[in-house]
Every structure is written in structure tokens, then in C-alpha cells.
Amino acid sequence: MTSATTLTAHNLARLLQATAPHVAAEGIGLDQIDGVRFDSDGIHLHAIATDRYTVAVARARLQTAGGASEPFARTVHGHSLPTLRAWVDAHRGDAALNLTAEADHLVLTGPRGTLRIPATGTEDFFDWRKLVHTTLADRPADEPCTRWTSRLWERWQHAGREITTWHTGGTKPLLVLGADFIGLQAPNRPATEQAQTTAEALDAWKASLGPDTGQRLDLATVVPDPSPREYPTATTVPQMSEELLRQTLNSTHGLVNAPSSDPGAIAAYALSGVHAWSAYRLLAALMQADPDLATATVADLGEQLEDGAISEWAWEAATDAGHDPQQWITARAQDQAAKPTVASS
């Protein structure tokens, strides 16, 4: 047995590309899933990611010389993934990359040098093999599979925020139902008259999944939700407008009556009032420019507020806009630490 795991740069890049869209955002209190989990069984290197709603598992066969490598499992967290991807992309696709697991790092060695990327292996990462077995448990092994062209799935993203699907199997089309919307998608016809069964389609994954232990996991509960928070749950434009105006007036009234000896309370009231009034003005302008967009946005916002994980979307939005949200958090912590502590009498 060797400690080094070898695969091509192309395969490692493919694993990252396939799983990156499913990584949970940082800053939501779920550190165990805010990255990509690399799980090597000595035959394949698996990459696993989840955002609590979807799970993605991709694998590549190892090219380790001299026999199988030692199994390992390490998670590379979100803030380190861009560095890892850039290092991998700097190599030719056929370049051999060696991976070695250390206690708190994943060490990669290739033609362009060595990269030691922070990685953890002790956190409570969910049992993805057991979860897949749970999904397959109630499906007959001899049931025919249906093949779909995945590039067509994105065409349904405007069918509605929530859609209903129905599929009778085989070569029958997929029925897609949304609000004031109905659609069909035809499956790919199998190359032969007899379609693959579930067992045949999954036969190649037996080595990765291992035997079914009979224990079951539920995707909805396999990763805990972030701590619930209380937010207003207005789902219509009139409700949201009323809530924002109420918040503006409550905040400005609180600002006037806040004790002058409490600068923190004064700042909180002022900030709350300014943001509520700004949101009201922007919502009113959006209603004039595009009422349909305003209605859809408020409904979507209401769902996010009820879910309570708005920090997840805020973190992603800040990152997409080119900001560094981690720097904001660090700066705030430093600012709080620098403030003098007032002893109570």
C-alpha cells in the first residue's frame, strides 16, 4: 500500500467542475459541507458535495503505480477551492498529479510543483454511500431506466419557482407542470430495444458504493438546517410595502427615544430605518418599472426569509459581485475586539 494517490489533471478538474455547483455556501454555520469532500477507496477518487438540497458524487479511476493506495477522506473547504482549481488548471490535461493526505492538508504534487491545501478529515461528514443505498432501496432492480439529455433540463428553469413532474417510465415523456405552464420532454431512446435496468445501470458503481448495510438516511435530515431565525414573511408587494413602512417608522421613533448614553442603540435604530426606507423606495420603483418582476421577486424573497438561511444567499451574492465577505466578517470582529469593555456596577 502507498500513501500517494495518482490521477490525471483532466480527471481532477472534471471532479471539481461536476461537484462545485452543489457546494454549500460559507458563512451559514454548516462547515462540514462548505466544500468538496475527496474520498479515495484505493480504486477511485470520489468528489462529493451537497448544499442540503442536492448531492453530487463524481469519481475518477486512480492510476497509482505499484498497486492500490491507502484510502482517505478529506474536505477542501470553499475558500480554498479556487486555489485548488487554479493549480490543477495550470497543468496539461494528461499530467499525472499525486495526492497525499495529511492530518490537516491535502498535498498535491505535479509537473508544476507542490501545493499544500488546507483540508479537514475529522468533521462529521454524512455517509454518502448509505444515502445512495437509501434512495435505491425501494426501486426494483429489474425496473427499466430512462435516459435524459441533461442540457435540456435548464430549459425548464422559467416554468415556475416550483414545478410538478410526472413520468411513467420507459420511453414515455416527462410531464412538467408549473403555474399556467405545461410541458413535455422526450427521453433518449436506448441504442437497443431493451433499455438498461436499474441494476445494470448501477453495476459499474458497485465497487464505490459497497454493500447495502440496510441502514437508511434521509436527504432532508442528513445535514442539519442552520439555526432558525425570525424574519418577516411578507409574500406580496402590498404586504412587503406595509412591513417596510412600519419598520421605517418604528426605527425612526426608536431613534428619537433612544437614550443618548447608548450609542449602539442609536446606530442600530438609524441603520434599520435607513435600510427599510431604501428598500421601500426601490420596491416602489420596481413596481412602476416592472410589476410582474416586483411580484415574483417579493414572493421569492418571502420564501428565502421563511427558510431563514439568508446569510447563504448573501454570501453567494457578495462573492458573485467580486467582494470578499470573509474580509467583512474579519474586519467587524477586529472592530468589536478594539472597542473598550464597560464594566457593570
Task: Place 117 in a pLDDT band, splitting at 50, 70 and 90.
Answer: very high
* Predicted confidence (pLDDT) per residue in 156-175, tens digit: 888 877 789 998 777 789 99
Tracing cell 425570525 back to the chain, one arrives at 230
pLDDT of residue 158: 81
Give pLDDT, residue 33: 81
pLDDT band at 314 (very low <50, low <70, confident <90, very high): confident
pLDDT in tens, 246-294: 888 888 887 777 777 777 778 888 888 899 899 999 999 999 999 888 8
Q: Could you give the residue ranges of the DSSP H alpha helices within 258-308?
A: 263-289, 291-307
Q: What is the C-alpha to C-alpha distance for residues 176 and 250, in angstroms, rounded to an integer?
A: 45
pLDDT of residue 233: 72
Instruction: Give the list of residues 6+ apart from residue 63 with CB closer than 8 angstroms, or none.
Output: 6, 7, 8, 96
Q: Dump pLDDT digits (tens) for 42-78.
A: 899 999 998 888 899 999 999 865 556 788 999 998 8
pLDDT for 326: 85
The answer to whether 163 touches 176, Cβ cutoff 8 Å, is: yes
What pLDDT was estimated at residue 235?
79
pLDDT band at 334 (very low <50, low <70, confident <90, very high): confident
Distance linking the first and last C-alpha atoms of the chain: 65
What's the pLDDT band for 232 if we cut at 50, 70, 90? Answer: low
Residue 266 is predicted with a pLDDT of 81
pLDDT at 46: 95
Instruction: Please give the helix or strand (H or E) that residue 17 lies within, else none.
Output: helix 9-19
| Distance from C-alpha of 205 to C-alpha of 17, rounded to nearest angstrom | 20
Q: Rounded distance, CA 156 to CA 164, Å?
A: 11
pLDDT at 59: 95
Q: What is the mean pLDDT of residues 213-234?
A: 67
Residue 112 vs residues 7, 60, 108, 149: alpha-carbon distances, Å? 15, 21, 10, 37
- Give the pTM: 0.68
Q: Please tell me the CATH code under which domain 4-118 is placed.
A: 3.10.150.10
Please list the residue range(s) of the chain that carry CATH number 3.10.150.10.
Answer: 4-118
pLDDT at 1: 41
